[in-house]
């Protein structure tokens, strides 16, 4: 009772302070004092109490601003147009303040987890690893599956499953015979690959309920106590299970252990602004801060991959939820409501791929946005029985985030109303604006830097929200109009951009830039030359100039740079033996990708002699912890280039056999700390001044580069190297229609002893511009076509009857 009374008294005092009428000069003094106190706390104090004092002090400045906006700046109701637009702008600001308040609660004290309990092999639970797939390339799947079967875990307790939704009976019986042939050929090839890797292959009758349905099919076919989910392009490091599995023994009600999604390649914004090696990725704020904040309140949720789930919990909930297109968050939502607990481990244990093109990036974010809105509309967290109040707030924070396109676009274009049409969207003197608005903005910058400075540069949130908001607004409207309409779309990955070009989605950004530029020019002219223009024109002019800067950087984002290297690299520190003909040379390996690696050796003369005798050889990786070395990797010596110094050479992986992917998994994913080191290398704080100068540079460079790309006429679509479509030119049109059931065809086509599959890779480090495919798969396509033709010739009538049946 006494504690509640204390909080009530503190709240009353705060409200009284916030609503206290004071002069503009007093407000300025108060704001400066608060900012100095915050700076002193930041500089000289640490710990939970200091963190709370910092956030509380800044919150008073924010609340003073909100009170001033509500009581003194709204347009008069006697001016209906100004009043309506003023209220819209104020509502957008209230959303931001409300989301900030929730963020401060959630992230006030992010949880740091202790290491998991170490268990003996005998006491470890059985594990099923699910790798759901739809249309990913053979080589991507080979890398992920090889790393999955190489996980540090007892072999008799680990089963890896490829859940292939690209080879379902529905797809193999598609009315389009070419599509059906390709689905069957994919199914045959992937089954053979799984057999050689020791992976269980599973497909299903129909593609129902998208990824959730695919995972549930795997759940029904398997028996492991723990289910691990990896997206097809999320490759686990060897230590993944050892770092995570022990938490399940500590809490019998634990249903989820989620780990961060970390990526080897830049997203389109990072690639086009060239920041990947020096700036934290956009998702790091969520995975390094917000998920830990949610974890404190038992609110961290399933993110679709890089996670472990307890089978008993999934069965209690009826499997993976599939009402919305974000089955991951929805599944966690249902299980939290049933009293199960979740846990977040802030250690990067997988390496994934991000969308390469701006178009696929927007498609991915549209699905996330629509899915979170579906959950909010169909399963409102505020009304969900079983959730604790703080869990409701946690889920609402994650869903409210996706409303950002509305306020972001309002802030971008609201000042144009006053510049062009003299609509007074707020009423204020220049002195009041400085005293209240400037201090509010400074405190906001301090909040962001204090909480997220290590993982988010200043200005980057504004940029990401703007470039997404231009297209996500339509996605929001569509799901609000019809919450059950959105469908699951697979995000394209592994694309290669063959040249510099403007994105197909660039037009709205060009139009917005020109509109804002005309607004800034108009504001400058009116303020300088038009009689009767007030200082409000100066304020909105500066505001619009800031928006123009963001729009200019966005043009640099949609001006897509050509990508010379299609394989993402990871810095490592490994050793191995390079063999050419009869020579064996000890080498150090410092850089690796899916297509090659960079080695260094003191035996350069021997290396050159071996290369002269024949550049094709093999690389045997020395395994860590005394493990046996995996199969050697076929390599080819690349001619020296700018990356090679006197002791270094680049090697490309030469037509890898499927089994050799086990060697690649050891080389690239054997050291679980490699990704941690990479993230740490780009997490130096960027000061606001440094970030602003960089942003201004981008703001000038972006429009120039976009104009150059347009002038060159390079608005060409990207070339996809991951999903090559091999037309079955020799397959007669009625071949599938007259063949028997799918399983029977598979038996006939599948050889009893399939040869090992070489997978062609581009030369390292450059990426070939021609679509490439697995040589073995091509031979299988020809074999399948021949067998299908035979089946057609021998039993056309019987096949037709079976098809009708």
Catalytic residues: 165, 328
**Residues forming a β-bridge with 226:** 127, 310
Alpha helices in 352-498 (DSSP H): 358-378, 389-400, 405-421, 430-432, 439-452, 460-481
Yes or no: say if 593 and 643 are a contact pair by the CB < 8 Å rule. Answer: no
DSSP at 625: G
Written in H, E and C, the secondary structure of 282-299 is CCHHHHHHHHHHHHHCCC
CA–CA gap between residue 262 and residue 352 (Å, rounded): 6
Yes or no: say if 334 and 313 are a contact pair by the CB < 8 Å rule. Answer: no
Query: The tokens of 28 are what?
Result: 């300025």
Run of H or E including 690:
helix 688-711
Residue-by-residue DSSP string for 327-355: HHHHHHHHHHHTT-EEEE--S--EEB---
The beta strands (E) that lie in 387-525 are given as 495-496, 501-502
Query: 226-229 and 127-133: which strand pairing?
Result: parallel
**Residues forming a β-bridge with 254:** 341
Residue carrying the six token digits 């090697």: 651
**DSSP-derived 3-state class of residue 161:** strand
CA–CA gap between residue 220 and residue 226 (Å, rounded): 13
b/e map of 290-321 (b: 16 or more CB within 10 Å)? bbbbbbbbbbbbbbbbbbbbbbebbeebebbb
Of the candidates 219, 224, 235, 238, the residue with the CA atom closest to the CA atom of residue 153: 238
CA–CA gap between residue 373 and residue 382 (Å, rounded): 14
Return phi, psi of residue 342, to 5°: -125, 170
CA distances from 420 to 84, 416, 521, 540 (A): 17, 6, 11, 11
Q: How many CA atoms lie within 13 A of 629 on its CB side?
A: 12
The beta strands (E) that lie in 516-672 are given as 559-560, 570-580, 583-592, 596-600, 616-621, 633-637, 648-653
Of the candidates 658, 783, 778, the residue with the CA atom closest to the CA atom of residue 725: 778
Yes or no: say if 348 and 262 are a contact pair by the CB < 8 Å rule. Answer: yes
Q: How many CA atoms lie within 13 A of 248 on its CB side?
A: 26
Sort 752 into a burial class: Cβ within 10 Å, 0-12 / 13-18 / 19+. exposed
CA–CA gap between residue 125 and residue 246 (Å, rounded): 9
Of the candidates 535, 487, 575, 555, the residue with the CA atom closest to the CA atom of residue 705: 555
Alpha helices in 530-587 (DSSP H): 535-558
CA–CA gap between residue 617 and residue 599 (Å, rounded): 14
Query: 158-164 and 200-202: which strand pairing?
Result: parallel
CA–CA gap between residue 736 and residue 184 (Å, rounded): 10
CA–CA gap between residue 434 and residue 199 (Å, rounded): 64
Return phi, psi of residue 549, to 5°: -60, -45
**Residues forming a β-bridge with 720:** 495
Tell me whether the omega of the peptide bond preceding residue 775 falls within 30 degrees of 0, making it cis: no
């Amino acid at each position: 009772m006494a504690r509640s009374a204390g909080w009530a008294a503190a709240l009353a005092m705060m409200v009284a302070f916030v609503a206290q009428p004071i002069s503009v000069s007093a407000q300025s003094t108060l704001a400066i004092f608060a900012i100095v106190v915050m700076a002193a706390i930041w500089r000289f104090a640490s710990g939970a109490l200091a963190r709370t004092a910092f956030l509380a002090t800044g919150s008073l400045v924010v609340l003073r601003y909100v009170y001033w906006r509500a009581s003194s700046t709204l347009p008069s109701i006697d001016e209906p147009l100004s009043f309506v637009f003023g209220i819209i702008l104020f509502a957008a600001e209230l959303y931001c303040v409300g989301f900030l308040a929730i963020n401060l609660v959630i992230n006030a004290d992010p949880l740091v987890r202790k290491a998991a309990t170490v268990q003996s092999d005998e006491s470890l639970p059985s594990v099923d690893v699910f790798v759901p797939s739809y249309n990913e390339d053979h080589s991507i799947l080979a890398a992920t599956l090889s790393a999955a079967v190489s996980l540090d875990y007892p072999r008799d307790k680990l089963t890896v499953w490829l859940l292939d939704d690209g080879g379902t009976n529905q797809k193999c019986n598609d009315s389009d015979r070419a599509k059906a042939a390709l689905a069957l050929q994919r199914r045959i090839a992937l089954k053979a690959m799984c057999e050689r890797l020791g992976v269980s292959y599973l497909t299903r009758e129909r593609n129902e309920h998208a990824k959730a349905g695919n995972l549930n099919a795997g759940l029904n076919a398997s028996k492991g106590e723990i289910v691990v989910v990896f997206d097809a392009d999320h490759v686990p490091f060897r230590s993944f299970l050892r770092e995570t599995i022990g938490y399940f023994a500590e809490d019998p009600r634990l249903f989820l252990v989620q780990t961060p999604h970390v990526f080897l390649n830049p997203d389109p914004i990072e690639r086009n602004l060239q920041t990947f090696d020096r700036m934290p990725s956009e998702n790091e704020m969520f995975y390094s801060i917000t998920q830990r904040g949610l974890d404190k309140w038992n609110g961290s949720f399933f993110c679709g991959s890089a996670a472990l789930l307890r089978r008993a919990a999934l069965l209690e909930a009826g499997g993976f939820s599939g009402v919305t297109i974000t089955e991951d968050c929805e599944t966690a939502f249902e299980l939290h409501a049933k009293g199960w607990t979740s846990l977040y481990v802030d250690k990067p244990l997988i390496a994934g791929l991000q969308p390469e093109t701006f178009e696929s990036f927007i498609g991915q974010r549209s699905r996330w946005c629509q899915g979170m809105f579906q959950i909010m509309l169909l399963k409102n967290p505020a009304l969900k029985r079983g959730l604790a109040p703080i869990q409701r707030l946690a889920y609402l924070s994650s869903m409210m985030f996706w409303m950002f396109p509305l306020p972001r676009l309002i802030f971008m274009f609201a000042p144009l109303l006053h510049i062009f049409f003299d609509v007074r969207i707020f009423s204020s003197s220049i002195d009041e604006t400085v005293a209240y608005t400037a201090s509010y903005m400074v405190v906001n910058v301090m909040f962001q830097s204090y909480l997220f400075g290590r993982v988010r540069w200043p200005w980057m949130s504004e940029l990401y929200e703007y470039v997404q908001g231009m297209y996500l607004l339509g996605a929001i409207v569509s799901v609000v109009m019809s919450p059950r309409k959105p469908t699951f779309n697979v995000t394209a990955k592994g694309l290669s951009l063959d040249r510099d070009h403007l994105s197909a989605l660039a037009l709205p950004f060009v139009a917005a830039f020109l509109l804002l530029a005309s607004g800034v020019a108009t504001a400058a002219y009116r303020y300088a030359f038009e009689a009767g223009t007030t200082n409000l024109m100066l304020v909105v002019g500066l505001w619009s100039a800031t928006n123009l800067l963001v729009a200019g950087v966005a043009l640099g984002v949609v001006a897509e740079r050509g990508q010379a290297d299609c394989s993402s690299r990871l810095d490592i520190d490994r050793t191995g033996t390079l063999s050419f003909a009869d020579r064996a040379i000890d080498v150090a390996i410092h850089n690796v990708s899916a297509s090659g690696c960079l080695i260094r050796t003191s035996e350069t003369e021997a290396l050159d002699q071996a290369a002269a005798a024949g550049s094709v050889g093999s690389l045997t990786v020395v395994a860590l912890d005394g493990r046996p070395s995996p199969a050697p990797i076929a390599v080819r010596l690349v001619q020296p280039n700018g990356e090679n110094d006197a002791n270094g050479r680049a090697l490309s992986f030469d037509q890898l056999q499927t089994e050799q992917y086990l060697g690649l998994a050891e080389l690239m994913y054997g050291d679980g700390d490699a990704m941690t080191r990479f993230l740490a290398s780009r997490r130096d704080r960027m000061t606001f001044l440094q970030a602003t100068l960089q942003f201004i540079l981008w703001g000038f460079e972006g429009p120039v580069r976009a104009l150059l790309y347009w002038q060159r006429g390079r608005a060409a679509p990207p070339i996809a190297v991951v999903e090559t479509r091999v037309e079955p030119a020799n397959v007669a049109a009625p071949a599938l229609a007259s063949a028997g059931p799918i399983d029977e065809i598979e038996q006939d086509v599948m050889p009893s002893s399939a040869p090992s599959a070489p997978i062609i890779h581009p030369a390292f480090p450059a990426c070939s511009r021609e679509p490439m495919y697995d040589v073995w798969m091509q031979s299988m396509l020809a074999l399948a076509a021949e067998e299908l033709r035979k089946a057609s010739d021998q039993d056309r009538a019987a096949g037709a009857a079976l098809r009708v049946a």
